[in-house]
Structure 1
């Protein structure tokens, strides 16, 4: 009866570095999805509805880093640390990034590194806080987040928390 109260507009943040081409491309895709038909080739499609927070040249806080690491998809390559929540997944391969023995091993260390050397971070970091999804350093990864939102909008994915009365009222 009151299912409309359960729906919320997804909250998406992009930790954006304006000097990073992948970050600029991802930000453009997010903005386009809220103002133009999505997917782009379908003229009868509606734009996606989500709140977009752009955090320009601002790294995530240590608490945000810990959450983001749990939202990232599982590591794909064998050279990644065995811990899927390891902060090294957010460190770039830029020449100014620290080498393996000098890399931070905590969210606090990564946050300090990002503040002192923005090139050491994989930009952009895009987080869908509502659906628990994140991508880092990949402008193509934004498509996965947008496609998930489109599937929800179009009813291809059902709400996980469908509350149906049980017991007395059912």
Structure 2
């Protein structure tokens, strides 16, 4: 009877760096989806409804990095999560291959010391179990998944139930 009261809004976080063009574009896309029709090409569509947390110029914590990597592994796959180097950029000031950290703690420390070493943005749907690293198309995929849930094309029970930060 009161199930509507227990339904939580999706929690989306963007680890954003203002000097990164993909990060700036992704943040604008997320904000636009909250304030205007989504998808944008359907003027009668309502905006999406989610909590947006913007973390500027600060990398995810080691625990968040581990969770995010687990979201990048296909759900129906027995494959191991991608390597931590997934978070690293090819910026000239980034660490060389031999100097790249191979742990969540190492990536978090490197990102704190040298923000250019990371791929920005890191966008995470904590409730839906989806993430995108340095990829605007991945953010579009996260927003499309939210739209599908909003429009009843996918039931909440069919989505990944996170054991992460906001569930």
Q: TM-score range by the shorter chain?
A: 0.7 to 0.9
| Alignment check: 8 A CA contact 1:26 1:139 kept | yes
Matches for 1:1-170 after TM superposition, within 5 Å: 1-73=1-73, 83-160=80-157
> Deviation of residue 3 (structure 1)?
2.4
Distance (whole Å) between structure 2 residues aligned to residue 33 and residue 56 of structure 1: 19
Per-residue deviation, residues 108-142 of structure 1 (Å, max 9, x unmatched): 00001001111110000000001110000111211
What is the TM-score normalised by the length of structure 1? 0.86
Structure 1: runs of 5+ lacking an equivalent: 75-81, 162-170
After TM superposition, the runs of 4+ consecutive aligned structure 1 residues lying more than 3 A away are none
Structure 2: give runs of 5+ residues left out of the alignment.
Answer: 159-167
Larger Rg: 1
Residue in 2 aligned with 1:78?
none
User: Following the alignment from structure 1 to structure 2, what is the Cα–Cα distance between the partners of residues 141 and 12?
Assistant: 13
Relative to 1, partners in 2 of residues 1:83 and 1:93: Cα closer, same or farther, differing over 3 Å?
A: farther
Shift of 1:83: 4.4
1:5 is displaced (CA, Å) by 3.3
Number of equivalent positions: 154
CA distance in 2, matches of 1:90, 1:43: 36
In structure 1, what is the equivalent of residue 163 of structure 2? none
